[in-house]
Structure 1
Amino acid sequence: MIRDSSNGRELRERGYEQDVAQCSRMDVFKAVPLLYKGRFVKAHDRSKDQ
């Protein structure tokens, strides 16, 4: 899906095929950091501010 999007095609045409493949992987990590107010936090920590 990402690979064939307009942005994915553009990146591949510029030589970033491996980057697109890496970014398209699913369920690789249990947690993903979120940039919030200039720092990386766990997504569930941000929900406390709402």
Structure 2
Amino acid sequence: MKSMIKGLLYITAGFCAAAIGIVIWGPRRTVPVSDLAHRLEDAWADHHTVA
């Protein structure tokens, strides 16, 4: 009985995680990934050049 409840809990958690992922990274994203990558690169360079 415990393993059945545990399995149901894992399945429910997986569906919730998938739903959150769809909401966060859904089709409404307006900034392309390449732009995000360039911003990250610039921020990393700024972080390492500022004394």
* TM bracket, shorter-chain basis: under 0.3
- The one of the two structures with greater contact order (alpha-carbon pairs below 8 A, sep at least 6) is 1
Which protein has the larger Cα radius of gyration, Structure 1 or Structure 2? 2
TM-score by length of 1: 0.26
More helix by share: 2
Higher strand proportion (structure 1 or 2): 1
